[in-house]
Structure 1
Amino acid sequence: MGRLREGQYFCFCLDHVREYNATYNYFNGMSDEDVLRFQKDAVTGHRPTWKMGADRNGAADAGMADPFHMQGGKPGKNRTPRHGVVARKALHVLDLDDDAGPAEIKARYKDLVKRLHPDANGGDRSNEDRLREIINAYNVLRSFRIV
């Protein structure tokens, strides 16, 4: 039957269903403000929402405690990660922390490639998979313009 009468139904023949549907307006009797509020709430499925990753003033991680240092911070220091998850994984492959700079990344990459390359190991290809991971990680960091 419509808004505010959920669970109640009309029993129409097909011709009367078409006639009823042609004139039906769900928002009939609602003010413009009510319609706009309904449309705004429809974006989230009429469920309450909260800001994520920010305090009420919009500052990211302001005053957020990290007693177990899960965010990689040092004891007594709250910080926001410098890079995204993919870049942090690439830095982890190169055995570097999140604070590594471009020069440090490039030096670490060159050192690992020289050490693991088959030509430097008498043709031994046992480290080839690790070398491939390192090259891919470096390319990821280059694509993010971190290096």
Structure 2
Amino acid sequence: MKLDSKYFDSIRVSSKRQRSAAPTREEKHPRCQWKGCKSPGDHKAPRGRGRDGQFYFFCLEHVRQYNATYNYFDGMNDSEVQEFQKDAMTGHRPTWKVGANSPPPEGAAAGAPPPPDAAAAPGVGTKTMDPHSFFARRERAARQRAEAAAGKRRVVKPLEKKSLETLDLSIHASRDEIKARFKALVKIYHPDANGGDARSGEKLREIIQAYNFLKQAGLV
């Protein structure tokens, strides 16, 4: 460039004071968070599970040491790790199998109440991941409202009726009534409350068997 050029006069060179005012590497980055280290922390390291998006700031030497021992699954057992990895494939969102919205089978009555496992299987032959039992509670509440509106209750089979009679209950007893009566009878006929009487022990076995049968039948 010629010294007498008009462009030469437009070039400005910063002064030493201006150049020295530029931030240094130590000033630009926070100090390394490794205990006792005073180097600049210009390398980020994740804080761990449950603190996603949060980071430590270390120097190069200490970020390498941190990463060498870092374990995101620390504190989780093998089954929890496998479940986490499985859910991670769908972004930890509930999923439905193909056919979840398929129509009901032929011959199904219109407006008929859903089967007992409808909350877990909204589609025929499929099951929905429902870890918090949201769909199960919703379907159960719907069935209870339908029964209350129609004044109906499922037909009680002979063995179910006999089990209810063993608990001194009618065929119209609710789930809560069955549970409450079972707990009360266990306290009454427990051998410890009857001085080890054998007859109380036999009665208690009948009560437990009746309750277990009602539980398997879906009445509890």
TM-score (norm 1): 0.43
The structure with more radius of gyration: 2
Which has the bigger relative contact order, CA under 8 A and spacing at least 6?
1
